[in-house]
């Protein structure tokens, strides 16, 4: 695959100023597979200006039928481009074939109906009963209106899903959008601009700016007073900076940040079924997911039994053709990320955790790819850095617990609160644990919450607000209360 992306600004494609580009690297081979437009601050300013002008001067924010028409076209165009989108996920993300049917292609495409249906059925206006406050009988109207210009900043790990989870609800709500994707995955965003350009969407409604220097261009988007809202998915560290920078203009914020999710196995669980499954949770897409279950909490008396089962599962993970639909673990996104993961392996050993298997670069993986072996640590203390910090790689920390109360205490002992899970022979017992865990999403006995109508987001330093579901749609709305004489 060889492609060259361009910026999509004000309804047209064009190169970055000075025709600047940067190389896009394939995670599976380490080879350059194309060039991406290297947008500048000036390019971003033009995109913001277009989005602002269109929001203020066009009927996009108020004409629901127009939005419905254009978003239906947009959806159809994305489905028509599915094979190309699938190839982009394989090439620039390094997503293995087994993940394409999930969050890297098919799942987010199937989710597109939800914001469209929400737009059809949502009550943007309601009336409250007449109130006689201070002698003035009044009718009260509550209107839901578009938040304004939205800056959407997205990461590289699951780019298509996160791009669509931001832009479709925002556009359906009546906002205009400037999308700034991660530099590692520009085409997953640029292809959406290409599709949008073929719809009847007014110029400036949707804009895409790719850049090799995301901090500089992203800061322009975050600090510009013409931007009303920032919707960001990424690290907690970056989320803190966005909060601080956005404070100057009191921006509306949605933040979906890091996680260090704990999967609790209770003493009555079916170990033969549950323990090997827990390997899947952390090896899927090489652990490059904020909601991956990277801490496994097992009963202390069965710790060694669990380790034996996990060791077999980890060492059986193949490095086959990345495009194979049976493959769920691919490479890391870049050499930089691989070195980050390997550094955490070193930290874990220095902290006294037992490295059971993995921890290095596999000799039998596809040549040149940014692969790391499935890595298993035993006898981990929850105070260790490998148990507290987000590694974003195929690394599992196994922590012993001494019963339900202890497991809950350990799971909650984290700055994060994004996801987690519990396994028990008793659903009532499992649900009792779930109610005590301070996270935004939770899986009981292997059930999957990931769906278009499920709000996703975190407690504590895992973020602010929710994406997807009705709550995700309403993130992009403001509320206006109007009184008229009764």
Which tens digit of pLDDT belongs to each residue from 92-102?
Answer: 999 998 899 89
Q: Check residue 320 and give its pLDDT.
A: 67
The pLDDT of residue 25 is above 90: yes
pTM of the full structure = 0.96
Q: At 104, is the pLDDT very low, low, confident or very high (cuts 50, 70, 90)?
A: very high
Q: At 5, is the pLDDT very low, low, confident or very high (cuts 50, 70, 90)?
A: confident
Cα diameter, the chain: 81
Higher pLDDT among residues 214 and 89, named by residue: 89
Q: Check residue 113 and give its pLDDT.
A: 98
Cα(399)–Cα(387) distance, rounded to whole angstroms?
A: 9
Q: For 39-43, 326-330, 395-399, which range has the lowest pLDDT when averaged over its residues? A: 326-330
Q: At 214, is the pLDDT very low, low, confident or very high (cuts 50, 70, 90)?
A: confident
Q: Check residue 4 and give its pLDDT.
A: 81
List, as own/partner pairs, every contact residues 17-21 make where C-beta atoms lie below 8 angstroms and the sequence separation is at least 24, other chains included. 17/42, 17/43
- % of the chain exceeding 70 in pLDDT: 99
Q: At 1, is the pLDDT very low, low, confident or very high (cuts 50, 70, 90)?
A: low
> Which whole number is the average pLDDT over 414-421?
98
Q: Check residue 325 and give its pLDDT.
A: 82
Residues serving a catalytic function are 256, 290
Cα(79)–Cα(98) distance, rounded to whole angstroms?
A: 19
pLDDT one-digit tens code per residue, 318-351: 876 777 888 899 999 999 999 999 999 999 999 9
Cα(131)–Cα(280) distance, rounded to whole angstroms?
A: 57
> Which whole number is the average pLDDT over 242-265?
97
pLDDT averaged over every residue in the chain:
96
Q: For 3-17, 144-158, 242-256, which range has the lowest pLDDT when averaged over its residues? A: 3-17
Q: What is the 3-state secondary structure (H, E, C) of the chain?
A: CCEECCEEECCEEECCHHHCEEEEECCCCCCEEEEEECCCHHHHHHHHHHHHHHHHHCCCCCCHHHHHHHHHHHHHHHHHCHHHHHHHHHHHHCCCHHHHCCCCCHHHHHCCHHHHHHHHHCCCEEEEEEEEECCEEEEEEEEEEECCEEEEECCCCCHHHHHHHHHHHHHHHCCEEEEECCCCCCHHHHHHHHHHCCCCCCCCCEEECCCCCHHHHHHHHHHCCCCCEEEEECCHHHHHHHHHHHHHHCCEEEEECCCCEEEEECCCCCHHHHHHHHHHHHHHHHHCCCCCEEEEEEEHHHHHHHHHHHHHHHHCCCCCCCCCCCCCCCCCCCHHHHHHHHHHHHHHHHHCCEEEECCCCCCCCCCCCCCCCCEEEECCCCCCHHHHCCCCCCEEEEEEECCHHHHHHHHHCCCEECCEEEECCCHHHHHHHHHHCCCCCCEECCCCCCCCCCCECCEECCEECCECHHHHHHCCEEEEEEEEEC
The pLDDT of residue 364 is above 90: no
Cα(419)–Cα(240) distance, rounded to whole angstroms?
A: 20
Tell how strand 420-423 and strand 416-417 pair up.
Answer: unpaired
CB 111 within 8 A of CB 468: yes
> Which whole number is the average pLDDT over 188-199?
97
Q: At 2, is the pLDDT very low, low, confident or very high (cuts 50, 70, 90)?
A: low
pLDDT one-digit tens code per residue, 178-187: 999 999 999 9
Q: At 303, is the pLDDT very low, low, confident or very high (cuts 50, 70, 90)?
A: very high
The pLDDT of residue 114 is above 60: yes
Indicate if the alpha-carbon torsion angle 250, 254, 257, 262 is positive or negative.
Answer: positive
């Amino acid at each position: 695959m060889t492609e060259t992306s361009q910026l999509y600004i004000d309804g047209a494609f064009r190169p970055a100023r000075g025709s600047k580009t940067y190389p896009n690297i394939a995670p599976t081979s380490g080879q350059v597979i194309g060039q991406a437009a290297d947008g500048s601050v000036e390019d971003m300013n033009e995109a913001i200006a277009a989005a602002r002008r269109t929001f203020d001067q066009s009927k996009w924010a108020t004409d629901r039928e127009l939005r419905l028409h254009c978003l239906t076209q947009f959806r159809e165009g994305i489905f028509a481009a599915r094979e190309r989108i699938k190839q982009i996920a394989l090439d620039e993300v390094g997503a293995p074939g087994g993940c394409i049917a999930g969050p890297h292609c098919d799942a987010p495409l199937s989710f597109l109906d939800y914001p469209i249906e929400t737009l059809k059925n949502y009550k943007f206006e309601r009336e409250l009963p007449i109130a006689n406050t201070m002698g003035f009988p009044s009718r009260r109207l509550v209107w839901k209106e578009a938040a304004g210009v939205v800056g959407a900043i997205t990461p590289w790990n699951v780019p298509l899903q996160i791009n669509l989870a931001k832009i479709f609800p925002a556009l359906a709500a009546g906002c205009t959008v400037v999308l700034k994707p991660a530099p590692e995955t520009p085409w997953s965003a640029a292809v959406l601009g290409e599709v949008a350009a073929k719809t009847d969407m007014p110029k400036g409604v949707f804009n895409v700016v790719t850049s090799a220097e995301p901090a500089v261009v992203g800061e322009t988007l975050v600090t510009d007073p013409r931007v009303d809202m920032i919707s960001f998915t990424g690290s907690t560290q970056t989320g803190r900076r966005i909060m601080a920078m956005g404070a100057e203009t009191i921006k509306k914020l949605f933040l979906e940040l890091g996680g260090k999710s704990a999967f609790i196995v209770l003493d009555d669980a079916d170990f033969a079924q549950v323990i090997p499954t827990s390997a899947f949770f952390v090896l899927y897409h090489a652990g490059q997911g904020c909601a991956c279950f990277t801490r496994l909490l097992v009963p202390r008396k069965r710790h060694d039994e669990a380790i034996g089962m996990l060791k077999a599962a980890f060492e059986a993970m193949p490095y086959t053709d990345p495009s194979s639909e049976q493959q769920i673990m691919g490479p890391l996104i870049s050499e930089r990320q691989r070195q980050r993961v390997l550094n955490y392996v070193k930290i874990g050993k220095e902290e006294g955790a037992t490295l059971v298997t993995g921890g290095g670069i596999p000799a039998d993986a596809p040549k040149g790819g940014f692969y790391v072996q499935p890595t298993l640590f035993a006898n981990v203390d929850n105070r260790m850095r490998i148990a507290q910090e987000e590694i974003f790689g195929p690394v599992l920390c196994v922590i012993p617990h001494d019963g339900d109360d202890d497991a809950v205490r350990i799971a909650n002992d984290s700055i994060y609160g994004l996801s987690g899970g519990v396994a028990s022979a008793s659903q009532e017992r499992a649900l009792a644990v779930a109610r005590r865990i301070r996270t935004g999403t939770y899986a009981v006995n292997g059930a999957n919450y990931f769906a278009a109508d499920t709000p996703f987001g975190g407690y504590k330093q895992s973020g602010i607000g929710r994406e997807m579901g009705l709550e995700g749609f309403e993130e992009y709305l403001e509320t206006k209360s109007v009184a008229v004489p009764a």
